[in-house]
Structure 1
Amino acid sequence: MLQVLSSAWALLFGIGLLLLGNGLQGTLLGVRGELEGFSTFEMSFVMAAYFVGFLGGSRLAPEMIRRVGHVRVFAALASFISAVMILYPVFPDTIAWSIGRVIVGFCFSGVYVTAESWLNNATDNENRGKALSLYMIVQMLGVVSAQALMLVGDPSGYETFVIASVLVSISFGPILLSISPTPAFDTAKPMTLRQLIEISPLGCVGMFLLGGIFAAQFGMGAVYGATVGLSLPQISIFVATFYVGALLVQYPLGWMSDRMDRRVLILLASAVAGAGAVFGIMFGPSFESLLIAAFLIGGMTNPLYSLLIAHTNDYLDHDDMAAASGGLIFINGLGAILGPVITGALMDDAVVGPAGFFVIIAVLTLILALYAIYRMTQRPAIPVEDTGIMSPMAPTATTVAVEFVQEATIEAELEEMQAEQQA
């Protein structure tokens, strides 16, 4: 672990600053939108716009990098992010914010692709797994820490928006100044969606539903908190609890995943997350109850991203794992675009009201749990000894990061096989 830190600390530090800025702007817009008098349905389009841009960026950023190189793409896109964050309070309008969120989502996707390819290049076979773990921890800590920055300035003013912009701007320094070689960039050609669905129906359906669940958390959590009258510190803690749960539960769930039928674990995790959402419906907006609900939902649904990818990999040859990652991320992105919009519609007072935030999560997790049960009736489980390793990753991972994880997973599996043969 120390070896990874010594070789990639500047890159990880820069990524942490990026996540601080991104986590801060998401929560900040949710709170500021309430202060500006925007409806939850209007804010849902603002929040969904980020995922539209992110999905587009994940498809176009690799070609941009091939044309002009990593350094130019990173510097240009990060500059756009910084500029848009300052402009949010200048144009308090849902259309302007939606356009800004598309731009920010597109740019963050490209920035992540660039940073993740650098991280991949900075590691070797021996420490790639440790680098992945550190990368995910940095991502989660960045988003959690960002919530504390909400208390530094007044969300009705400019200060907090400036802080988010500055964080993104200074992230350039440690990353660009520490990178000497420019890595070769290449990604696997994804397999068709039809092939992917035939190989793993549960993986594909689960990734689509999970996209909606994660987007509802990431995009509408702060909107919900502001709507039900939580104070600014309470909103920050509420949003942070989703990611604290994910950080604490990811590794125990991964340990269980390697020792049981993954479909059963997908069912259990979905059921617990759904129970958490029902708890939020029944006992919210009591602050203590909301924290319990957020911990259960975040702790179960975020690790499901890694679990569904691992489940899909169980039905793939090693050579096809990287190719499948692009399709899974695309499916997840489609669900993420729809998630905030449906959530915002349900949160309208004429429909369900603020509790619609938990209703959509409960419905989607219930569908996933039921579909997991159905799939268990369609084909037998793969013996545990024949399944691959589950490697942790965040739901914000790009195609590059997932391919990076796939490489580390394959290497770990090959090492296990060699060790068994020698024994």
Structure 2
Amino acid sequence: MIQVLGSSWALLLGIMLLMVGNGIQGTLLGIRGALEGFSTFEMSIVMSSYFAGFLFGSRMAPELIRKVGHIRVFAALGSFISAVLILYPTLTDPVAWSLLRLFIGFCFSGVYVTAESWLNNAADNQNRGKALSLYLIVQMIGIIVAQGLVVVGDPSGFILFVIPSVLVSIAFAPILLSVSPTPPFDTARRLTLRKLFEISPLGVIGILFVGAAYAVMFGMAGVYGTEAGLSKENLSYFVASFYLGGLLLQYPIGWLSDRIGRRVLIIAAATIGVVASLTAYLIPGYGTLLLSAFFIGGMMGPLYGLLLAHTNDYLEPEEMAAASAGMMFINGVGAIVGPLAAGWIMGPLGAGGFFLVLGVLLSVVIAYAVWRSTQRAAIPVDETAGYVSVMPQASPVAVELAQEIYVEAREDAQESVEETDAKV
């Protein structure tokens, strides 16, 4: 870990500052939208637009990089992000915000593709897993820090929009001044969605609904807090609790994943998420709200990694990288629909609809996982590849990096079995 940090600290610092900027805008727009009189459904469209842009960017950014190169794409998209963050308070209209969120989602996706390409290029087979884990930690820390900055200014003014714009601008300095030579860029061939579903129905359905739930959490938590009447400070702690849970519970669940059957752990994690959602909905109190947010966030990220690992358990090594594009697309579709569903439900039901939507989405994952358990026997734990931490907001590069780690783990396991058989 220290070796990875020493070789990639500037890149990781830049990513953390980018995540601070990205984390502020989601919470801040939820507060400012209410002050401007936007309806809950209008805000859900605004929030959903980010994920539509992100999905589009994840498919277009590789082509842009091939045409003009990493550095030009990185610098150009970073400049656009900084500009959009300042434009929000000057164009206080839901249609304008939706278009800006669409564009900034596209830009962030391209930035992540570029930065993760550099991270992948800096890592080797021995530390690739550690590099991805450290990248995840830095992302989470950035989002958590962002919530603390929300309280330093007036959301009805300009300063809270200027701060993330400045941080994003600064973020590119350490990256562009210290990155290694531009890495080669390529993406894997794709596995069709139909083939992917035939191989792992639970992986496809699970990622679709977990992607929707994560987008609700990421995009609508600020809207919920505003609708629920939380103060600016309490809202920032509430949103931070989701990501603190994701940071602290990711690794215990990963440890269990290598010792307990995937489907059992998927059902257990989703059940904890449902219980936490219902607790927040049924039991009033700010302490209950924070605790529920902690466990919802703590289950959401690991669930994505578990479903990805479960899918890989049924893939051949040469198919794993090919599956990444399909999984990204499925996750992206869910992420677009999730906030829209939350906004539609929160309109008539009020703020509590936020937790009802989360509970329903995770309940679908539980029900389908239980049903699939009756349709196909689980792969023994000792025959599965190790768990890899990867978040739903990861770019195709990070997902393919995770797939490479799975491939290496599977090949190492096969070599170990062959060596044991040879000795016997």
Measured in 2, the distance between the counterparts of 1:31 and 1:234 equals 12
Write out per-residue CA displacement over residues 12-50 of structure 1, whole angstroms, 9 at most, x where no aligned residue.
111111101000111110111111111111100000000
Name the counterpart of 1:161: 161
Q: How does 1:23-422 map to 2 (within 5 A)?
A: 23-284=23-284, 286-348=285-347, 351-418=348-415
Deviation at 1:412, TM superposition (A): 3.4
2:291 counterpart SS class: helix
Give a deviation string over 1:321-377, Cα, whole Å, max 9, x none: 0110110110010010011111011111xx211110001011111111010000000
Unaligned runs of 5+ in 1: none
Provide TM-score, normalisation by structure 2. Answer: 0.97
Q: Contact (CA 8 Å) 2:385, 2:409: kept in 1 or not? A: no
CA distance in 1, matches of 2:271, 2:311: 20
Displacement of 1:189: 1.5
* Residue type at the aligned position of 1:377: T
Tell me if the contact between 2:317 and 2:410 (Cα under 8 Å) persists in the aligned partners.
no
Partner SS, residue 349 of structure 2: coil
Q: Distance in 1 between matches of 2:322 and 2:193?
A: 11
What's the CA shift for 1:405?
1.2
- Percent identity of the aligned residues? 59
Q: Cα deviations across residues 231-256 of structure 1 (Å, max 9, x unaligned)?
A: 10100000010111111111111111
Q: How far apart are residue 416 of structure 1 and its match? A: 4.7
Rounded to whole Å, the distance in 2 between the matches of 1:320 and 1:354 is 43
Deviation (angstroms), 1:153: 1.2
- Which stretch shows the higher mean deviation, 80-89 or 253-262? 253-262
2:20 is the alignment partner of 1:20: yes
Which whole-Å CA distance do the structure 1 matches of 2:182 and 2:135 have between them?
20
Q: Residues 201-228 of structure 1: CA distance to partner in whole angstroms, max 9, x if unpaired? A: 0000001101110011011001100111
Secondary structure of 1:155 counterpart: coil
Q: Do the aligned residues in 1 keep the contact of 2:324 with 2:400 (CA within 8 Å)? A: yes
1:418 is displaced (CA, Å) by: 4.5
Counterpart Cα distance in 1 of 2:340 and 2:391: 22
> Residue 338 of structure 1 aligns to a residue in which SS?
helix
Tell whether the 8 Å contact from 2:203 to 2:307 is kept in structure 1 after alignment: yes
Q: SS of the residue aligned with 1:347?
A: helix
Amino acid at match of 1:304: L
2:138 partner SS:
helix
Q: In the aligned structure 1, how far is the partner of 2:236 from the partner of 2:408?
A: 39
Counterpart Cα distance in 1 of 2:415 and 2:345: 53
Unaligned runs of 5+ in 2: none
How many equivalent pairs are there?
420
Give the superposition deviation at 1:178: 0.6
Shift of 1:180: 3.2
| Secondary structure, aligned partner of 1:154 | coil
Q: Deviations over 1:287-342 (max 9, x none)?
A: 11111111111111221010000000000011110110110110010010011111
